[in-house]
Amino acid sequence: MARNVAPVSELQEKVVYINRVSKVVKGGRRFSLSALVVVGDGEGKIGIGMGKSSEVPNAIKKAIDDAKKNMFTVPVINGTLPHETVGEFGAARVVLKPAAPGCGVIAGGPARAVLELAGYTDVLTKSLGSSNPVNVVKATAAGLKSMQFSKEVARRRGKTLEELFRIKPAEAIKTTDALVAEDGSDDVVVEDATLIEDETVWVPLEESVEESEPVSEAVVEPVTEPVVEPLDPEIAAALEATVGRVEEV
């Protein structure tokens, strides 16, 4: 199988884990060392390799050579991931999420080595399974390999990037600055404005003063005093007599 071998001068190396292993033979035990190394160029190309030897320098050298022969490319967009993904290898399970600029690489030692050498600067990670460094590194690499470039997805689906993300072309979008008159006033030039695809233009509402309806003059009718009819003479005499008795009391 063909392998992708990267130039030596472009790569950075980082030793993730060194373990002492033993082999039981007839005369007893034979000890050796195994090294896990990650190499990368910081621009989206990384490789993972392992080496074993009776001495540490030789084990690291073998691991570096193995990592350089197994390089792969991952998508890096503004220092973070294009989308959320989960990598699994053996009993290890690593969740990878994109982060805002300035967040940094939030990851443990094995996963951090892979992400930093790949060129990521803002990533959120969480290890949910085994803490074995070898499995965590390979699970992180599996998660990065599972991510896809937007261009590849658009090509596979037979669409453009604008159609894939439902983005309108730049020439069809009109901002408020394009609708402002040339003299800098707040007057909006609607006649020369080009309509967007949905045939709508955002125009600020003009302040309109509602005209009040004219008040009709009310017709004042003259007030007529009620006509008082004269009392009966007998009733008037009785009232006067009653009033006189009250005054005496």
**Residues 94/126, Cβ–Cβ less than 8 Å:** yes
**Is residue 235 one of the residues assigned to a domain?**
no
**Whether residue 21 is found in the same domain as residue 63:** yes
Whether 156 is covered by a domain: the verdict is no
Q: pLDDT tens, position by position, for the chain (249 residues)?
A: 455 555 545 789 999 999 998 889 988 899 899 999 999 998 889 999 999 998 999 999 999 999 999 999 998 888 999 889 999 999 999 999 999 999 999 998 899 999 999 999 999 999 998 999 999 999 999 999 998 877 888 888 888 877 777 765 554 344 444 444 444 444 444 444 343 344 444 444 444 445 555 555 656 666 666 666 676 777 777 877 776 665 665
Helix (H, G, I), strand (E, B) or coil at 234: helix
Tally of domains within the chain: 3
Residue 117 and residue 89 share a domain: yes
Going by their DSSP bridges, the two strands 12-25 and 123-127 should be labelled as unpaired
Determine the angle formed by the axes of helices 133-146 and 109-118, rounding to 10 degrees: 40
In a domain, 39, yes or no: yes
How many Å separate Cα 105 from the centre of its chain?
17
128/98 same-domain check: yes
Q: In angstroms, rounded to a whole number, what is the distance separating the alpha carbons of residues 95 and 81? A: 12
Model pLDDT, residue 170: 52
What is the CA angle 20-138-32, rounded to 5? 15
Q: State whether 60 and 23 are in the same domain.
A: yes
Structure confidence at residue 168 (pLDDT): 59
Are 69 and 40 part of one and the same domain?
Answer: yes
CATH assignment of the domain containing 96? 3.30.230.10
Q: Which pLDDT belongs to residue 68?
A: 92
Clarify whether residues 135 and 184 are in a common domain: no
Please state whether beta strands 45-53 and 71-73 pair in parallel, antiparallel, or not at all (unpaired). Answer: antiparallel
Q: 29 in a domain, yes or no?
A: yes
249 belongs to a structural domain: no
Q: Are strands 28-40 and 12-25 parallel, antiparallel or unpaired?
A: antiparallel
Residue 153 lies in a domain: no
pLDDT on residue 212: 53
Same domain, 140 and 179: no
CATH at residue 47: 3.30.160.20
Does the model's pTM come out above 0.75?
no
**211 occurs within a structural domain:** no
Residue 141 lies in a domain: yes
Q: Which domain, by its residues, includes 185?
A: 168-202
Residue 174 and residue 127 in one domain: no
**Looking at the structure, do residues 45 and 68 belong to the same domain, yes or no?**
yes
Which pairs from 196-203 meet CB under 8 Å and 24+ separation? Answer: 196/168, 196/172, 197/168, 197/172, 201/174, 202/176, 203/179
Contact 10, 25 (CB under 8 A): no
The count of other CB atoms within 10 Å of the CB of residue 26 is 4
141/91 same-domain check: yes
pLDDT value of residue 239 = 78
Q: Are residue 59 and residue 89 in the same domain, yes or no? A: no
Tokens of 101: 């600029």
